[in-house]
Amino acid sequence: MADMRKSIPLATPTMHGEELKFVQEAFDKNWIAPLGFNCDGLEKEMNEYLCRNGGKNQEALSLVSCTSALHLAVKLAGVKRGDRVFCSDMTFAATVNPVSYEGGEQVYIDSENETWNMDPEALRKAFEKYPDTKVVVLAHLYGTPAKMDEILAVCEEYGAILIEDAAEALGATYKDVACGTFGKYNAISFNGNKIITTSGGGMLFTDNKAERDKAFFWATQSREPELWYQHEEIGYNYRMSNVVAGIGRGQLLHLDEHRDIKEKIYRRYKEGLKGLPVKMNPYFSDSKPNFWLSCMTIDEGCDKDPIVLIKKLAEEKIDSRPIWKPMHMQPVFADNDFISANEKSVGEDIFARGLCLPSDIKMTEEEQDFVISVIRAYFED
């Protein structure tokens, strides 16, 4: 007999219905092209949300992806061919690829164990080795804020610009200040698996309207204000559709609700896995993650293998994933420098012992109990 059990996904979009109101308005007004009132509304409402959560007031630009937002941030920061840029090591490639788009050279900074994010001590060590570096790209892993006070202090000491990749951290705060507001340039993601979505998309934030306008210029093919099509710089087709921006406006109404459900999922895992040789992804008590993905590591010395566990879960139609493979381990970046404050790479260790667990908002408690039971069975076998 065929197995009729429903699969349990890692993270998928959760729609509520309000999204349709904004999308329908775009159709009713026949405004389905890039730009438009939904893009303007999403920019305004997202900035207001971040401000309500302790962030600074910023100029926002809605774009086709967080990657495009990071690319424009790298350009605004002035990265040129041959420039070194210090980057989070344990992250998705989209965090660091924009440096290559501009011909820069990534130097990868190891993680620390308390948040899994960029280690301030390793960052300081990197500046001691390359004191002329002027840009740092930091990602908040799995929605957990990095050690921002220490990171910002090091950047200020060396006069470096911080680009904050908050793709995974929308709704998270560090000491009551919203992630996505710490850098000179900041980026968030609305990809389909994120805490809210536009189906695909992202947003760039900057303190300066002139810089926002420059990014907008680049994002619209660098078209000069002439009657004819005139281009004096290379541009990109990065603007968000008015239709998908409408989805984002409806989703934003439920951001805090999504975050609260994600936290409940995390805490159920933490309670359900008690007694096993595992630990959940850590965070500081004075930060408030968005708990985008619940992750765990297997204790050192335990003979259990996260890849075997991932396969066991897959046999039960449960989706799980390895932790991000550090960038310095990726073949494409084999020649890039990597700097750690420890004899053993923290990121390599977390990658070797960790996995991401199903964290879908629509997952029922019964489904999560089943996930926990499969994990427990593997360790107790």
Q: Which domains does the chain have, with CATH numbers?
A: 18-252 (3.40.640.10), 255-380 (3.90.1150.10)
Does residue 376 surpass a pLDDT of 80? yes
What is residue 10's three-state secondary structure?
coil
Mean pLDDT of the chain, nearest integer: 97
pLDDT given at position 2: 45
Residues 261-312: tens digit of each pLDDT: 999 999 999 999 999 999 999 999 999 999 999 999 999 999 999 999 999 9
Whole-structure pTM value: 0.96
Class of residue 122 by CB neighbours under 10 A (exposed 0-12, middle 13-18, buried 19+) = buried
Query: In this structure, what is the dihedral angle of CA atoms 15, 21, 25, 27, given to the nearest 10 degrees?
Result: 50
335 pLDDT exceeds 50? yes
For residues 358 and 318, is the Cβ–Cβ distance under 8 A? yes
Burial of 312 (0-12, 13-18, 19+ CB in 10 A): middle
206-248 per-position pLDDT tens digit: 999 999 999 999 999 999 999 999 999 999 999 999 999 999 9
Helix, strand or coil, per DSSP, at residue 291: coil
Mean pLDDT confidence for 25-29: 96
